[in-house]
Amino acid sequence: MKYNITLLPGDGIGPETIAQAKRVLLAIGEKFGHEFNFKEELIGGAAIDATGDPLPQETVDSCLSSQAVLLGSVGGPKWDDCPRRPEAALLGIRKAMNVYANLRPAKLYPSLTHFSPLKDEKIKNGVDIIIVRELTGGIYFGDRGYRNNKTFGREAYDTESYSELEIERVARIAYEIAEKRQNKLCLVDKANVLESSRLWRKIVTDINEDYPTVQVSEMFVDNAAMQLCLDPTQFDVIVTSNMFGDILSDLSAAIVGSIGLAPSASVGETGLGLYEAIHGSAPTLAGKNVCNPAGTILSAALMLRHSLNAEKEASAIENAVASAIECGFGTQDISSMKQSTSEFTDEIISRIKV
């Protein structure tokens, strides 16, 4: 097969993790007889420096005409005071591609148990969670701005709002994922306070009849944070809003050992998907060949599975990463061997080739 992929290296460690993921994909191409046609485009701070615009139209056009997009990371202190920050490009490309469901798996590798901040007894039965985060709505995209408040001075506001359609479409994806797993779906919200959360509850409950095998539960987000720490094994699939999903997915990534390992897939109505590690641009690690490339490499695996319909190729990457980790290899965040970014990737590639 021939695949057209847009690569968006971005900022910080993004260019390094993308370079390694590209090597892994080329190894997959060689092994399985596929041709990858990569197009690299600018995004984030790199795009601001080159064009003044964090999300140039050319980048958007390239993404929309590809089969899938693999993104590194965006942002850094250099651009913190820009009128249009690099992060705006990330939100912009998610919106432009209409990838409203962000799948964030958190799975514990048995050999990494000691890298988890949780005690052994809490995770001895394994952790295997998928957070389905709504990605193109809510407070990230709601009405915002400044308004005058005569008594208290300047006032800034952001709005959380969700339409029925926005909730239903992401909830259906979460149900479908739950059906293929343990049939357990937990809606995380703040329905004791927020009107929008109450609409989430109504819709998620209403459409449960279309997925009769799935058992739905509801949990307030504060309790969910606590429960993830006290007993992460109780969760299978979590569905939640954009901001709650952002917060809880960092927590679930830390629980399984390192945020450097956590991939994500953002999907919508069509096969076109956006794939990115959930870690940020980690400016302090950038350019040193020390960051963990696994988050982006595992995102490339999700890309093969969800956008390119290449399941055995996806599994080949996941098995190679798991095997390298189980053998003790890894970067400083997950291994006492403290391998460099490229050395760890070499280990992964050598396992794909066999």
Q: At closest approach, how far in Å is the CB of 33 from Mg ion?
A: 37
Q: At closest approach, how far in Å is the CB of 16 from ligand IPM?
A: 17
Instruction: Give the x-and-dash track for 204-243 against ligand IPM (CB under 6 A).
Output: ----------------------------------------
302 touches ligand IPM by CB under 6 A:
no
Q: What is the DSSP letter of 209?
A: G
Q: How far apart are CA 250 and CA 259, in angstroms?
A: 7
Our answer to whether residue 222 is catalytic in this structure is yes
Our answer to whether residue 140 is catalytic in this structure is yes
Q: Which residue has the tokens 């794939």?
A: 275
Reduced 3-state DSSP string for 250-315: HHHHHHCCCHHHCCCEEECCCCCEEEECCCCCCCCCCCCCCCCCHHHHHHHHHHHHHCCCCHHHHH
Our answer to whether residue 53 is catalytic in this structure is no
Tell me the window of 2-10, 239-247, 267-275, 322-330 that interacts with Mg ion (CB under 5 A): 239-247
87 touches ligand IPM by CB under 6 A:
yes
Q: At closest approach, how far in Å is the CB of 75 from ligand IPM?
A: 6
Query: Which member of 162, 246, 275, 333 is catalytic?
Result: 246
Q: β-strands 273-276, 265-267: how paired?
A: antiparallel
Tell me the window of 32-40, 106-114, 135-143, 238-246 that interacts with Mg ion (CB under 5 A): 238-246
Reduced 3-state DSSP string for 68-113: EEEEEECCCHHHCCCCCCHHHHHHHHHHHHCCCEEEEEEECCHHHH
Q: At closest approach, how far in Å is the CB of 138 from ligand IPM?
A: 11
Our answer to whether residue 250 is catalytic in this structure is yes
Cα 249 to chain centroid, rounded: 8
Residue 92 partner contact from Mg ion, ligand IPM, none using kind-dependent CB cut-offs of 5 to 8 Å = none
90 touches ligand IPM by CB under 6 A:
yes
160 touches ligand IPM by CB under 6 A:
no
Residue 280 partner contact from ligand IPM, Mg ion, none using kind-dependent CB cut-offs of 5 to 8 Å = ligand IPM
Q: How far apart are CA 27 and CA 34, in angstroms?
A: 10
Query: Which member of 22, 162, 190, 211 is catalytic?
Result: 190
Query: Which member of 222, 288, 312, 353 is catalytic?
Result: 222
The two tokens of residue 300 are 């490339």
Tell me the window of 104-112, 129-137, 215-223, 242-250 that interacts with Mg ion (CB under 5 A): 242-250
276 touches Mg ion by CB under 5 A:
no
Q: At closest approach, how far in Å is the CB of 245 from ligand IPM?
A: 8
134 touches ligand IPM by CB under 6 A:
no
Alpha-carbon separation of residue 337 from 42, 48, 252, 290, 329 (angstroms) = 34, 37, 24, 12, 6
Q: At closest approach, how far in Å is the CB of 245 from Mg ion?
A: 9
Exposed e or buried b for every residue in 93-114, given b needs 16+ CB within 10 A? bbbbbbbbbbbbbbbbbebbbe
246 touches Mg ion by CB under 5 A:
yes
Backbone angles phi, psi at 132, to 5 degrees: -100, 105
Query: Which member of 3, 109, 140, 275 is catalytic?
Result: 140
Q: Give the burial class of 218: count Cβ atoms within 10 A of its Cβ; 0-12 exposed, 13-18 middle, 19 or more buried.
A: middle
- Scan residues 275-294 and list those touching ligand IPM (CB under 6 A): 278, 280
The residues that touch Mg ion, with contacts defined as CB under 5 A, are 246
Active site residues: 140, 190, 222, 246, 250
The residues that touch ligand IPM, with contacts defined as CB under 6 A, are 75, 87, 90, 246, 278, 280
